Copies of this chain bind each other. A is one copy, B any other.
Amino acid sequence: MPDMSVYILTLRCMNRPGIVAAISSTLFGAGCDITEAQQFDAWESRSFFMRVVFRMPVHAAAETTLRDAVATMAREFEMHWTLRARAQPTRTVLMVSRFDHCLVDLLYRWRIGELSIDPVAIIANHPRETYADIDFGDIAFHYLPVTAATRPVQEARIWDIVSGTGAELVVLARYMQVLSDSLVSRLAGRCINIHHSFLPGFKGARPYHQAFARGVKLIGATAHFVTGDLDEGPIIEQDVERISHADSPDDLVRKGRDIERRVLARAVRYFTECRIIPDGRKTIVFSA
């Protein structure tokens, strides 16, 4: 029996009969063995979404041959598609401001092999000593402070790092600076933010203090793709925790840290496992 390598195919197209038959025939014809498949038929937009995990025999031209076959089929159905070897980690830039709980958590999950990222750079708008307790190992650290006046220059540096490292994903791990529309559009579909509230509940600054003032009984966090419309990007994952009148704003911040780090870690994992397919203002997340 030949060695097998695992791939993940995602695709999106207008729905019409025969898509699944075409995909499964194409993969079967290439000697592949499907082990997981998830699909979704969005009746409102008449769109079809699919994620397929399969094993393929390892030989010299295997991936090229497969890509050609998928491309041929994709043309017929006008599909948007991605194909990725599951073993290949996602090249990731991590951005952070003063609070480092999400950063520390992502790095820990990466170190123990839970998260299949390759952290190619850390960008912070605070100096290295802010994170004195964290061992960044070999990961390049960039201190890029920013003011209104220096934003264009700072963002040019960010873009140099992202493009220079070939980053496939940028994670705003409690990076508290607003990105310009121009940078956001260049990072479209590959920049994930963690908003420290349960959107669309409390947009803008200091959401835990807003939640306290309003007297809600649950607080939450939201991981979403970054778009020009702040706090309105497509939502990837959310979670909540129960609070009461007895929780002070500081308690909310403390409980919030736990929610933020687990929501962001899930969103990053979904991204690295090709579980997220954008759908306009929304996302399809094939979460398990």
Interface of A is mostly: mixed
Given the known A-B contacts A40-B245, A101-B112, A246-B40, are A239 and B218 also in contact in the complex, defined by CB atoms under 8 Å?
Answer: yes
Q: Using an 8 Å CB-CB cutoff, how does the interface string of A21-38 with B read, 1 for contact, 0 for none?
A: 101110110011111111
Quick one: which of A193-209 are within 8 Å of B by CB?
Answer: 198-202
- Check A104–B114 contact: CB distance below 8 A: no
- Number of A residues near B (Cβ < 8 Å) is 67
B235 touches A214 (CB 8 A): yes
B200–A217 touching, CB < 8 Å: no
Give the shortest distance, in Å, between A232 (CB) and chain B (any CB). 9
At the interface, yes or no: A135 with Cβ under 8 Å from chain B?
A: yes
**Interface code A219-257, partner B: CB below 8 Å = 1, 0 otherwise?**
010000000000000111111100011111000001001
Q: Which residues of B contact A181 (CB under 8 A)?
A: none
What B residues does A248 contact at CB under 8 A? 43
Q: Which of A31-71 contact B (CB under 8 A)?
A: 31-43
Q: A217: shortest Cβ distance to chain B, in Å?
A: 4
A-B contact pairs, 5 of them (CB 8 A): A21-B24, A21-B27, A37-B39, A135-B135, A217-B285
- Beyond known contacts A21-B21, A24-B25, A40-B245: 8 more, CB 8 A cutoff: A20-B34, A21-B25, A21-B28, A36-B41, A215-B234, A215-B279, A217-B237, A218-B220
The 8 closest A-B pairs by CB, nearest first: A215-B282, A21-B24, A21-B28, A20-B24, A217-B238, A17-B33, A245-B284, A35-B41
